[in-house]
Structure formats: structure tokens, C-alpha cells
Amino acid sequence: MPNVSAALEVQIIRKYGHTAEIVRCCKKCSHGLLESDFKETQGMFTVGAFAIILDAQQRVLLCHRRDMDRWNVPGGGVMSGETPWQAVIREVHEEVGLIVCVERLLGVYAYPPGDDLIFSFLCTITGGEIAESDEADAVAYFEKERLPPTTHLHHALRIKDVAEHSEHVHLKTLPLLSTHEFSSPPRPS
């Protein structure tokens, strides 16, 4: 999928009771992503929103998920009636106790066959304090090039995009993961 400059328009058009069309256009070239770029879904269409939060040393904030024994960027599902940027603000507060401001859209990621869409936002901290939650048993900053080995693959790929091309908005289809990539990694004996 093409990289589109940050100077773009994003519209989420609701149709048939779910997010059915995403229109993204670069104001200079009019290249964009249309509904036809995603397979028509026959059931639930899920939308997620995740935050990339950097500290002064450009390290990324990760939270350790209790249920999966994985490190992730904070975020989660967009609820009915909520925009992706509202969802990321809510999810960050629920998971790690921070209040954030959305600075800009970093990427839009689809999972085959196109039933899941993930928005990744650059966020800055405006309040709150880092805290553990029901979902996260640890929260820490990591260098983008030295993520923990148990970092979720899709989250690591999004962080890599930010490290390599922070001025672009990324539009990508992420690889399907096998069952073992979603389960907890083996623990040392």
C-alpha cells in the first residue's frame, strides 16, 4: 500500500451499521485508499486504535499484557459511537493511567482479509501517572531498536514504521499470525 503524506483528509463513512468505507486522499496527488481496497466483510468489522507514546529520549512506551504475556503499545478496540482518536485516549487511560493528546495519525493497518482495521496515533502525555491496570501488569519505555523479545509482532512492525519514516502516514496490510504467535511464549524453566 502507498505511503501518503501527513497532509491528507480522513473520513470514516458509516454505512449499513458498521464502518464500511475509508477514504484517504493526499491533497497533492489525490491518491488514496477506497472501500474497494478492502474485501467486503460478511460479519463483524473491527476497528482498533493504538498509541505510540515517545519520551524525551525517543523511547516508546509499552505495556505488558497480563492475559498474553506480551508487550504491546497501549490501545484497543473502538466502541460503537466512538471515533478512533477518542478510543485511543480512553484505552491509554484505562491501560496505563495516562491522559494523552492525539498529535497525528501515523498509520492505518489492515489484517487479511480486511475485516480488521487498526489506527496508530502519535500521542503526547498531558496528565495522569503511569500505573498498572487489570490489563497491564507492567509499563515501561524501551528503545525502538531494542524491544523486549515478547513484543507482539504487529506492534513491533508499527513501531518500526515510526522509527523509519515518521513523516509519512503508513497504509499497510499486516501478515496473518499463526496461533502460536498469539499465545504466550514459552517460559524458561
The confidence score (pLDDT) of residue 68 equals: 84
Give the pLDDT of residue 166.
Answer: 61
How many separate domains does the chain show?
Answer: 1
pLDDT in tens, 43-102: 567 899 999 999 999 999 999 998 888 999 999 999 988 999 999 999 999 999 999 999
Question: Do the Cβ atoms of 72 and 135 come closer than 8 Å?
Answer: no
Query: Does residue 1 fall inside a structural domain?
Result: no
Residue 110 included in any domain: yes
pLDDT at 184: 36
The strands making up 70-72's β-sheet, listed across from edge to edge, are 70-72, 60-65, 136-142
Q: What is the pLDDT of residues 9-47, one digit of tens each?
A: 333 333 223 333 333 433 333 333 334 433 444 556 789
Mean per-residue pLDDT of the chain: 72
- Residue 13 falls inside a structural domain: no
Query: Distance (Å, rounded) from C-alpha 13 to C-alpha 20?
Result: 7
Asked whether residue 167 is domain-assigned, the answer is yes
CB-based burial of residue 115 (10 Å sphere; 0-12 exposed, 13-18 middle, 19+ buried)? middle
12 within a domain of the structure (yes/no): no
> Domain for residue 24, yes or no?
no
Instruction: Calculate what percentage of the chain has a pLDDT beyond 70.
Output: 62
Amino acid at 164: E
For residue 131, give the 3-state DSSP assignment.
coil
The better pLDDT of the pair 143, 27 is held by 143
Q: What is the pTM of this model?
A: 0.68
Three-state DSSP state, 153: helix
Q: How far is residue 139 CA from its own chain's centroid?
A: 17
**Which of residues 186 and 51 earns the better pLDDT score?**
51
161 assigned to some structural domain: yes
pLDDT value, residue 71: 95
| Confidence at residue 75, expressed as pLDDT on a 0 to 100 scale | 95
Which residues fall within 8 angstroms of residue 161, CB to CB, at 6 or more apart? 106, 107, 120, 170, 172
CA 41 – CA 115 distance, rounded (Å): 6
Q: Identify the CATH number of the domain in which residue 112 sits.
A: 3.90.79.10
Tell me: pLDDT of 148 over 80: yes
Rounded to an integer, the average pLDDT of 109-127 is 85
Judge contact between 148 and 159, C-beta under 8 A.
Answer: no
Task: Assess whether pLDDT exceeds 60 at residue 141.
Answer: yes
187 part of a folded domain: no
- Identify the domain containing residue 156 by its residue range: 41-180
